[in-house]
C-alpha cells in the first residue's frame, strides 16, 4: 500500500527519492510523485503509472534540491490520476505533503477549508493536509523557528484516522517534518543526511541506524539532526536502533523473482526462527516472555487474530496449542474480530500475527483487546513495527525481509514460531509428555527436510504447465491439511488470478461437489495418518465425476488413482504444514509464470495493508 520516501542531506535528492520509491514498489501502487525544495520554490513532479515514468517527466533532470519527499499511491479516495497522485500542495504552494493512511474526517475539513477560501483540485483526503497546515501557519503571527512545527501539530490535532505524513515548506528549506499515527514510517540516520521511508528495507543500503517513531511524535529533520517533540511540543529524546538485516538479503540473489527466492529461503528462515529457543534437552526459552504456570492455568481462552496468510498460520497454531496445552483457542480474522464485540477479559490471552507488523486491522484488534484487559503477544517479522510496540510482549519470526506480495517464508516461519510458543506454554504448565520430546526432535530436523522437499517439489512445474489455463482449481484437506488447503488456494488466487476455493474434504458432499465437472483440477493434501483414508475416499468421489487430481502426501497411498502425487518427507503432524505448503507455493508460482504475470506484484494487492 502507499509508500513514502524522503531525503534531507547534501546530495541531489531526486535520484535518491526515485530509487527509494522503486524499492517500495512491491507494496503495491498506481501512481508516483516527488517534490523537492529548489532555491526558493517547491518542485512537484507526479503522474499515474509506474515509478520509472517519473524519469520521463520534463524538468526532472534539472532538479537540484537536496531535500525532498516522494510517494507511491495506492488509490483509496479518487481514481488513479495525476491530480490524485501525491505529493499535494496547498493553494499558495508553500507546503508540499505526502500521506499514507486515511484522514477519516476529510469531508468535514474540506468544507471548513472551503468556507475559508481554499480550493481543492483532487478527490483525495490528503489534499486537506497541506491546506490545513497552511491555514494554521497563516494565522500564526510568531515568526520563530517553530512556526512550521506548530502549524503541522495544529493540523494533526484535527485529523481523525491514520496517517504517516512528510511535509516540506518553502520558507524552511533546511527542515522537513515527519509524523505518524497508526501508519508506518521510519527515519534512517546517515552522515549529514537523513532518510525517511515507509519501511526499513527501502533505505537499508544507506544506513542501518533507524529512529522508530511512536504515534504522534513530531520529528523536525535537518541535515545533521533529528529533533523529536511530543503532542504538547515538548522535546523528547530518542535513540537509534541498529537493524541487523543487510541490504543484500533484500535483493534477488540471482533468482528471477523475489517470490521464488523467498520460497527457497525457507530452510534458513526456519533455522533462524528456531534459533536458540528450542533444544532437545532443555525447556524452550523466549527471552521476551515471563509467563508462569499459575498465569497459564488461569487463562480462560486464547484468541489468535490476524489477516490472510498470517491467519492461516494462526489456524495451525490453534491446533497445536489446543492439543498440547489443552487451552481453548479461537482464530479470528482481524477485520471481523474488531467489530464483533469479542468476549475478552483479563483471563484472555490474545496473540496477534503480522509479518509486517503494520496491518491496520490487526493493530486495531490488538488495541481493542488491550482495552478489554487481555494480555497481548505480537508475532511479527519486523522489529520495532507498530504491532510490536503496542503489544505487551513481542516474539519474532526471523524470516528476513519478505518483498514479494504473496507471503511464503513468513507463513512457514509464523507456523514454526507458534508451534515453539505452544511448546513453551506446555512446558511452563509442566506438561511433560513424550510427544513434546518427539516434536522437538522433529522440529530440529525440519530445515533439512525442507531442503529435501524443495528438491522434490520442483517437478510440480510440469503439472503447472498442464493446468495454467484453467479457470477454477479446488483444494481439499482434513484436519491440519484443511488449513494448508486454505493457504494454497489463497496463494493461487493471488498470483495466478485463477478462481480457487478450498474445502474441508468431508464437507464436499454438502454442496460444493456440485461444482465438480469433467476435467476440473482438484488438489488434495494428505499428511495425517488418522485421516488419510477418509480424504482418499472424498477424492475418489471427485475422480468419479471426472476431476484431475493432484495429491501432496507423506503417507503410503495408491499413486495409480491420481494424476500426480508429490511425496514429501514424513514429519510430526503439528509441523507438517511447513512441508506440505512448499509444493503448493511452487505450483502457484509456476502457474503465474506460465501465464506471464508479475509474480511479485500481483494486481490490486499491497504488501502492507495499512488501511482497513
Ligand atoms: C497473502 C498475504 C496476505 C497477508 C496479510 C497480513 O500472501 O501476504 O494475506 O498475510 O495481508 O499481512 P501481515 O502479516 O503483514 O499482517
pLDDT digits (tens, 9 = 90+) for 112-150: 999 999 999 999 999 999 999 999 999 999 999 999 999
Percentage of the chain exceeding pLDDT 90: 81
pLDDT band at 487 (very low <50, low <70, confident <90, very high): very high
Q: What pLDDT shows up at residue 437?
A: 93
pLDDT single digits (tens) 323-375: 999 999 999 999 999 999 999 999 999 999 999 999 999 999 999 999 999 99
Q: What pLDDT shows up at residue 248?
A: 62
**Cα distance between residue 380 and residue 391, in whole Å:** 11
Q: Is residue 397 in contact with ligand 1, taking CB distance under 6 Å?
A: no
> Does position 609 have pLDDT exceeding 90, yes or no?
no
pLDDT single digits (tens) 431-448: 878 889 999 999 999 999
Cα of 353 from ligand 1 centre, angstroms: 9
pLDDT single digits (tens) 245-301: 666 666 777 788 999 999 999 998 999 899 888 988 889 988 889 999 999 999 999
> Does position 498 have pLDDT exceeding 70, yes or no?
yes
> Does position 155 have pLDDT exceeding 90, yes or no?
yes
Q: Is residue 381 in contact with ligand 1, taking CB distance under 6 Å?
A: no
ω into 48 cis (within 30 of 0)? no
> Does position 612 have pLDDT exceeding 80, yes or no?
no
Q: What pLDDT shows up at residue 183?
A: 81
Residue range 401-413: mean pLDDT, rounded:
95
Q: What pLDDT shows up at residue 1?
A: 67
Helix (H, G, I), strand (E, B) or coil at 187: strand
Residue range 69-77: mean pLDDT, rounded:
88
**Cα distance between residue 226 and residue 95, in whole Å:** 20
Cα of 355 from ligand 1 centre, angstroms: 7
Residue to mutate, 305, 307, 351, 414, ligand 1, most ligand atoms under 8 Å from C-beta = 307
Per DSSP, the chain holds a count of helices (H) and strands (E) of 17, 26
pLDDT single digits (tens) 208-226: 899 989 889 999 999 999 9
- The residue whose CA has the least distance to atom 5 of ligand 1 is 308
- The residue whose CA has the least distance to atom 7 of ligand 1 is 406
> Does position 455 have pLDDT exceeding 80, yes or no?
yes
> Does position 30 have pLDDT exceeding 90, yes or no?
no
Taking all residues of the chain, what is their mean pLDDT, rounded to a whole number?
93
Between 101 and 171, the higher pLDDT residue: 171
Q: Is residue 72 in contact with ligand 1, taking CB distance under 6 Å?
A: no
pLDDT single digits (tens) 523-539: 999 999 999 999 999 99
Q: What pLDDT shows up at residue 250?
A: 64
Nearest to 505 by CA among 530, 542, 470: 542
ω into 24 cis (within 30 of 0)? no
pTM exceeds 0.95: no
* 2 a catalytic residue: yes
**Helices 128-139 & 147-158 angle (0-180, nearest 10):** 130
Residue in the structure block whose three cell numbers are 494480555: 375
**Cα distance between residue 216 and residue 125, in whole Å:** 19
Residue range 103-107: mean pLDDT, rounded:
92
Torsion of CA 487, 313, 74, 116, to 10 degrees: 140
The DSSP H or E segment spanning 336 is helix 334-337
pLDDT band at 2 (very low <50, low <70, confident <90, very high): confident
Q: What pLDDT shows up at residue 249?
A: 65
Between 607 and 422, the higher pLDDT residue: 422
Cα of 273 from ligand 1 centre, angstroms: 18
> Does position 416 have pLDDT exceeding 70, yes or no?
yes
For 302, list phi and psi in degrees, rounded to 5: -110, 135
Amino acid at each position: 500500500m502507499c509508500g513514502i520516501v524522503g531525503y534531507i542531506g547534501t546530495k541531489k535528492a531526486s535520484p535518491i527519492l526515485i530509487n527509494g520509491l522503486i524499492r517500495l514498489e512491491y507494496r503495491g501502487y498506481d501512481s508516483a510523485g516527488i517534490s523537492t525544495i529548489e532555491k526558493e520554490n517547491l518542485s512537484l513532479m507526479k503522474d499515474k503509472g509506474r515509478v520509472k515514468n517519473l524519469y520521463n517527466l520534463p524538468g526532472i533532470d534539472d532538479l537540484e534540491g537536496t531535500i525532498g519527499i516522494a510517494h507511491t499511491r495506492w488509490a483509496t479516495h479518487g481514481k488513479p490520476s495525476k491530480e490524485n497522485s501525491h505529493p499535494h500542495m496547498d493553494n499558495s504552494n508553500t507546503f508540499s505533503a505526502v500521506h499514507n493512511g486515511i484522514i477519516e474526517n476529510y469531508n468535514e475539513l474540506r468544507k471548513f477549508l472551503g468556507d475559508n477560501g481554499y480550493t481543492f483540485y483532487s478527490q483525495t483526503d490528503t489534499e486537506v493536509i497541506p491546506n490545513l497546515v497552511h491555514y494554521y501557519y497563516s494565522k500564526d503571527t510568531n515568526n520563530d523557528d517553530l512556526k512550521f512545527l506548530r502549524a503541522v501539530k495544529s493540523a494533526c490535532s484535527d485529523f481523525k484516522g491514520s496517517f504517516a505524513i512528510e511535509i516540506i515548506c518553502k520558507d524552511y528549506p533546511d527542515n522537513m517534518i515527519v509524523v505518524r499515527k497508526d501508519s508506518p514510517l521510519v527515519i534512517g540516520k546517515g552522515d549529514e543526511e537523513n532518510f525517511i521511508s515507509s519501511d526499513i528495507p527501502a533505505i537499508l543500503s544507506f544506513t542501518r541506524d533507524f529512529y522508530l517513531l511512536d504515534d504522534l511524535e513530531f520529528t523536525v529533520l535537518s541535515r545533521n539532526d533529528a529533533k523529536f517533540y511530543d503532542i504538547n511540543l515538548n522535546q523528547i529524546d530518542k535513540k537509534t536502533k541498529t537493524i541487523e538485516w543487510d541490504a543484500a538479503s533484500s535483493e534477488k540473489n540471482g533468482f528471477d523473482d523475489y517470490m521464488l527466492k523467498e520460497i527457497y529461503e525457507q530452510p534458513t528462515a526456519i533455522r533462524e526462527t528456531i534459533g536458540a529457543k528450542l533444544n532437545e534437552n532443555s525447556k524452550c526459552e523466549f527471552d521476551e516472555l515471563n509467563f508462569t504456570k499459575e498465569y497459564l492455568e488461569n487463562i480462560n481462552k486464547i484468541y489468535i487474530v490476524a489477516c490472510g496468510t498470517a491467519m492461516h498460520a494462526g489456524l495451525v497454531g490453534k491446533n497445536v496449542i489446543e492439543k498440547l496445552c489443552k487451552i481453548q483457542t479461537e482464530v479470528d480474522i482481524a477485520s471481523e474480530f474488531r467489530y464483533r464485540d469479542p468476549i475478552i477479559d483479563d483471563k484472555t490471552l490474545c496473540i496477534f500475527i503480522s509479518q509486517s507488523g503494520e496491518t491496520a486491522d490487526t493493530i486495531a484488534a490488538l488495541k481493542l483487546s488491550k482495552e478489554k484487559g487481555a494480555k497481548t503477544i505480537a508475532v511479527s517479522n519486523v522489529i520495532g513495527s507498530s504491532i510490536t510496540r503496542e503489544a505487551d510482549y513481542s516474539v519474532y519470526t526471523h524470516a528476513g525481509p519478505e518483498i514479494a506480495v504473496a507471503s511464503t517464508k513468513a507463513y512457514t516461519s509464523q507456523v514454526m514460531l507458534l508451534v515453539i510458543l505452544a511448546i513453551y506454554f506446555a512446558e511452563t504448565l509442566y506438561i511433560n509428555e513424550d510427544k513434546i520430546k518427539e516434536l522437538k526432535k522433529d522440529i530440529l530436523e525440519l530445515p533439512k527436510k525442507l531442503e529435501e522437499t524443495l528438491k522434490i517439489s520442483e517437478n510440480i512445474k510440469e503439472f503447472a504447465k498442464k493446468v495454467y489455463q484453467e479457470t477454477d482449481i479446488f483444494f481439499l484437506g482434513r484436519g491440519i491439511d484443511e488449513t494448508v488447503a486454505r493457504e494454497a488456494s489463497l496463494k493461487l488466487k493471488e498470483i495466478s488470478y485463477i478462481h480457487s476455493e478450498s474445502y474441508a474434504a468431508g464437507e464436499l458432499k454438502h454442496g460444493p461437489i456440485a461444482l465438480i465437472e469433467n476435467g476440473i483440477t482438484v488438489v488434495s493434501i494428505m499428511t495425517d495418518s488418522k485421516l488419510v483414508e477418509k480424504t482418499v475416499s472424498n477424492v475418489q468421489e471427485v475422480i468419479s465425476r471426472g476431476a484431475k487430481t493432484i495429491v501432496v502426501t507423506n503417507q503410503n497411498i495408491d499413486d495409480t488413482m491420481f494424476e500426480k502425487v508429490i511425496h514429501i518427507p514424513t514429519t510430526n503432524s503439528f509441523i507438517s504444514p511447513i512441508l506440505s505448503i512448499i509444493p503448493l507455493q511452487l505450483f502457484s508460482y509456476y502457474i503465474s509464470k506460465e501465464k506471464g504475470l508479475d509474480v511479485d506484484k500481483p494486481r490490486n494487492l499491497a504488501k502492507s495493508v495499512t488501511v482497513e
